[in-house]
Amino acid sequence: MKKYNFGAGPSILPPEVIKATADALINFDGTGLSLAEISHRTKNFQAVMDEAQALVKELLNVPEGYEVLFVGGGASTQFCYVPYNLLEKKAAYLNTGVWAKKALKEAQLFGEVVEVASSAADNFTYIPKDYSVPADADYFHITTNNTIYGTELHEDLDSPVNVVADMSSDIFSRVLDVKKYAMIYGGAQKNLSMAGVTFVIVRTDILGKVSRPIPTMVDYRTHVKKGSMFNTPPVVPIFTCLQTLRWIKEQGGVAEMERRAKERAELLYGEIDRNPFFRGTVTCKADRSYMNICFVMAEEHKDLEAEFLQFATERGMHGIKGHRDVGGFRASCYNAMPLEGVKALVETMQEFERLHA
């Protein structure tokens, strides 16, 4: 039976990417050495780093003035790096879920934080729209895709101040206007690579403006200056990143990823809305995520939840159990999820409906 990985993260990668990584772990670039045992200073690895950074710029159309960094620590460490480097007096945060809240909490260690809006009272089932960002804030932090709740900002926001975006779970799934962001960051393990590497795209003119001293490793300028090679970077995940970036390019680029994401999402949300056994959890349909599709059993079928989970798992649907904060199910449909996977899930839902009709 074919297995489809709907896990939220770490998550599905293209089979070609897994294969290329496995091969390089045995014999990297014809060196006769494993990728895991070579120095990051070799010219073979430098070429990997250079191409990965160049491809991020090419695929996202990154304008002049920005640098691409690959660092360790995950998106969660960026929650601290961002205010450390950018918050002098005041920062604005949009609270759209657990990750957004965690980012906000870290910033409070560094200065005044304004929560411009929050959908916490409604368990983050929509993204707040009517709010204003204080014009004197040092930056405005957003989470473009709320992995746990299945809401997503489908457009680049206008803001009076620099926008910093956590794009851990939707990077490379939608065409972006990068110049609307001063910084974009995220853990790679949702749509790009395995766990262990964090991508940062930063407009360098925003750095060096705060008065506090910044420890070397936390200072973005260190990584800009040293090309993400100040210390040993996560070599294997960066290699995997490069393979995914090449794959995205071969498939037709980010526009094609966006087309596929919409196609998958339309199919699955269509079934969720049609099938009387299920109900989508996001109340504002325009905010429904293309990446993490959350649904629960309809009220009158609540008792069938465990049964559907088992039913779907037996049919090869891996990782669809919802996050404990939402319950029910979450089908994560990242870039590497083939349309067949979503078709198989839809068929499973229809089969379940027939069984219980």
Ligand X SMILES: *Cc1c(COP(=O)(O)O)cnc(C)c1O
The contact set with ligand X (CB under 6 A) reads 9, 74-76, 99, 143, 147, 166, 168-169, 187, 190
CB of 166 to ligand X, least distance (A): 5
Question: Which of helix, strand or coil describes residue 150?
Answer: coil
Torsion of CA 154, 180, 212, 166, to 10 degrees: 20
* Ordered DSSP codes for 218-252: G-HHHHHHTTT-SS---HHHHHHHHHHHHHHHHHT
Catalytic annotation present for 166: yes
CB of 81 to ligand X, least distance (A): 12
Contact 201, 64 (CB under 8 A): no
Nearest residue to ligand X by CB is 187
CB of 92 to ligand X, least distance (A): 18
Nearer of residues 6 and 308 to ligand X, judged by Cβ: 6
CB of 330 to ligand X, least distance (A): 12
The length of the chain is 357
Q: Residue 105, Cβ neighbours under 10 Å: how many?
A: 12
Residues pairing with 209 in the sheet:
none
Helix axis angle, 339-356 to 253-274, nearest 10°: 0
CA dist 186 and 180 (Å) reads 17
Catalytic annotation present for 247: no
* Ordered DSSP codes for 177-194: -GGG-SEEEEETTTTTSS
Nearer of residues 74 and 134 to ligand X, judged by Cβ: 74
Selecting among 99, 170, 219, 321, the annotated active-site residue is 99
Residues pairing with 293 in the sheet:
331
Unique residue bearing structure tokens 């009709």: 357
Nearer of residues 187 and 280 to ligand X, judged by Cβ: 187
Nearer of residues 75 and 116 to ligand X, judged by Cβ: 75
Catalytic annotation present for 99: yes
Selecting among 166, 170, 219, 287, the annotated active-site residue is 166
CA-based nearest residue to 193, from 17, 2, 4: 17
The radius of gyration of the chain from alpha carbons, rounded to an integer in Å, stands at 21
CB of 313 to ligand X, least distance (A): 23
CB of 168 to ligand X, least distance (A): 4
Nearer of residues 152 and 258 to ligand X, judged by Cβ: 152
Nearer of residues 301 and 319 to ligand X, judged by Cβ: 319
Q: Where does the chain have alpha helices with state H?
A: 15-26, 43-60, 74-86, 98-107, 220-225, 235-251, 253-274, 305-314, 339-356
Selecting among 138, 156, 170, 190, the annotated active-site residue is 190
Catalytically active residues are 99, 166, 190
